[in-house]
């Protein structure tokens, strides 16, 4: 008796068409150090290497095409991680959860993706050349980074500004433009 084997899907050159035909899924855990562009934005604690990993899962499916045409290939990508960023208040590292939960529709090639991009709401990717799933995931993680990461409550009190307190001079009163007219009226009247 033969046992059925599942093909090993290569996330670096993902055959999305075959994965969708099999209604298959792949998953993995990739160290944060494997995402070079993302790692540039991260702030590991002092004197420590970047630790942690991104847990991800990709599931492909075929959906009926428009007007009974060729079925469309879709990929659902889900990932989560906790990454160290710099708190914008105290500048200490703050562990920040990231989550990716996106659907992509696949088209034949880059030219088709460009041609259809303006007319559709979904995200489009090309079947050829085969996509690098980890690079797509890295793009999505970078886009999910918060603009201003902050602790809910900073672990250390914030430092006061350096230097003497700034003094604010009271603005000198501006002359009333109608005061001169009032004076002329009094003299003439």
Domain-embedded: residue 3: no
Domain-embedded: residue 72: yes
Contact (CB, 8 A) for 92 and 66: no
Domain-embedded: residue 99: yes
Q: Between β-strands 123-126 and 53-63, what pairing exists: parallel, antiparallel or unpaired? A: unpaired
Domain-embedded: residue 82: yes
pLDDT band at 156 (very low <50, low <70, confident <90, very high): confident
Condensed to tens digits (0 to 9), the pLDDT of residues 120-129 reads 888 999 999 9
**Element containing residue 95 per DSSP (H, E):** strand 93-107
Q: Name the DSSP class of 121.
A: S
Domain-embedded: residue 46: yes
Overall domain count for the chain:
1
For 53, 75, 85, 133, 137, the CA distances from 28, given in Å and listed in that order, are 10, 15, 23, 11, 12
Domain-embedded: residue 176: no
Q: What is the domain extent for residue 114?
A: 11-157
Residue 75's nearest CA partner among 131, 31, 32 is 131
pTM reported for the whole predicted model: 0.75
Condensed to tens digits (0 to 9), the pLDDT of residues 130-153 reads 999 999 999 999 999 999 999 999
Mean pLDDT for 23-39 is: 94
Worst-scoring range by mean pLDDT, 24-28, 61-65, 68-72, 164-168? Answer: 164-168
**What pLDDT sits at residue 139?**
97
**What pLDDT sits at residue 188?**
67
Q: How far apart are CA 64 and CA 29, in angstroms?
A: 32
Give the CA angle between residues 135, 136, 139 to the nearest 5°.
85
Mean pLDDT for 1-12 is: 62
Domain-embedded: residue 183: no
Tokens of 65: 């095409």
């Amino acid at each position: 008796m033969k046992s059925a084997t599942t093909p090993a899907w290569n996330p670096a050159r993902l055959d999305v068409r075959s994965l969708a035909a099999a209604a298959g899924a792949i998953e993995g855990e990739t160290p944060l150090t494997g995402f070079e562009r993302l790692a540039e934005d991260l702030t590991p604690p002092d004197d420590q290497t970047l630790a942690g990993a991104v847990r991800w899962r990709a599931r492909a499916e075929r959906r009926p095409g428009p007007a009974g045409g060729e079925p469309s290939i879709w990929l659902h990508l889900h990932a989560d991680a906790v990454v160290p960023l710099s708190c914008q208040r105290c500048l200490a590292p703050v562990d920040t959860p990231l989550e990716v939960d996106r659907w992509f529709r696949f088209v034949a090639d880059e030219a088709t993706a460009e041609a259809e991009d303006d007319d559709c709401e979904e995200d489009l990717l090309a079947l050829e050349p085969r996509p690098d799933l980890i690079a797509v995931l890295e793009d999505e993680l970078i886009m999910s980074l918060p603009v201003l990461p902050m602790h809910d409550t900073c672990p250390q009190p914030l430092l006061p500004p350096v230097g003497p307190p700034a003094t604010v001079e009271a603005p000198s009163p501006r002359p009333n433009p109608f005061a001169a007219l009032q004076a002329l009226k009094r003299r003439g009247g």
